[in-house]
Structure formats: structure tokens, C-alpha cells
Amino acid sequence: MLLLDVQLCLLFLIILGGIFYQAYLIGIKTGASLEQDVGLYQAHRYTQQLLLKELSLNARTVTIGGLPFSPRIIVRHQRGGVCDTYYLNGEILYRKRETTHTKGINPYSASGFAIRELTWSKLSSRALLLKWRLEEEKSGRSKEFEQVFVLGNGTVL
């Protein structure tokens, strides 16, 4: 009888251990996907904050142009002689700044992330819509984002 009790206890412990092990594996997978999602949101916020500052405070006029696979916007600043062009090249968003004396190109999207789809749309004479899909290059996990930019000092042409 004692042997039967010991075997039943061992069977119960094995079943209980299997349940906890499955829960542990699910927790590991969930934690990894949460970490990737946080990375996507941080990369989105990084680019969004840079664009928000430039478009809402400094823009005098914004012109939407480019081709569907290569959209771009041209931003003329309140300060005379400063013109920025935001464009997609090789799945990275770049800003090309031209002033009366200098020219320069800077990446405007976070490294390790690719921009797969990007569209600019005019909502009104003072509002601009950005739709884009951001993808983490390591895992392939992606998320779509939309952002409305309201120009405080400019107009959308």
C-alpha cells in the first residue's frame, strides 16, 4: 500500500511539474514578444518626436511629393534659407537639410528597424497624416502606426 501511495505522489508531482513547465515556456515567449513590442514603440516614438518638433514648430510650408514607393515631404522653415527634405531610402527615413551655407543628410529612424511602408497625406491646410509600418529586423515583428501632425506655424501645400 505504501508503494502505491508513493507512486501516486510521484505521478501527481510529474503532472504538476509538466503544468508549471508549460506555463514557464509560455511566460518566456510572452516576455520576448513584449520586449520586441516595447522596442517597436520606442523606435516609433524616437522618430515621431523628431518629426513632431520639426513639423509643428519650425515649418512654414510643407509640400508632399515623391513616388508611391519613395514618398517625400519638403519642409521650408520659419527661419529663411532652411529647407528639409524627408525621404525613404533603403527602408530608413532620412532628413536632407539645406541652408544657405551648408548641406547635410541625417538618418531619422532608429537603427535595427526597417520602415516597410510609409505614406504622407494631407488632412487639411494645417494637418498632415503619416502612416507607416515599422519592422524589427532581427525578429521580423512589425507594427503599423499612424500619426497626425498639426502645423502650428505653417501650411500644407
**Given this model, what pLDDT does residue 72 score?**
85
**Given this model, what pLDDT does residue 144 score?**
92
- C-alpha to C-alpha distances, 19 to 5, 13, 16, 27, nearest whole angstrom: 21, 10, 5, 12
CA contacts within 13 A on the Cβ side of 34: 6
Alpha-carbon gap, residue 112 to 109, rounded angstroms: 9
Average pLDDT score over residue span 74-81: 81
Name the residue with higher pLDDT: 143 or 58. Answer: 143
Q: Is the pLDDT of residue 68 over 80?
A: no
**What pLDDT digit, counting tens, does each position of 111-129 carry?**
888 888 888 888 988 898 8
Query: Among 8-12, 65-69, 135-139, whose mean pLDDT is lowest?
Result: 65-69
Q: Is the pLDDT of residue 83 over 80?
A: yes
Alpha-carbon gap, residue 84 to 87, rounded angstroms: 10
Domain layout of the chain by residue ranges: 2-156
Q: Is the pLDDT of residue 17 over 80?
A: yes
Query: Is residue 108 helix, strand or coil?
Result: coil
**Given this model, what pLDDT does residue 101 score?**
85
- Alpha helices (H) along the chain: 2-53
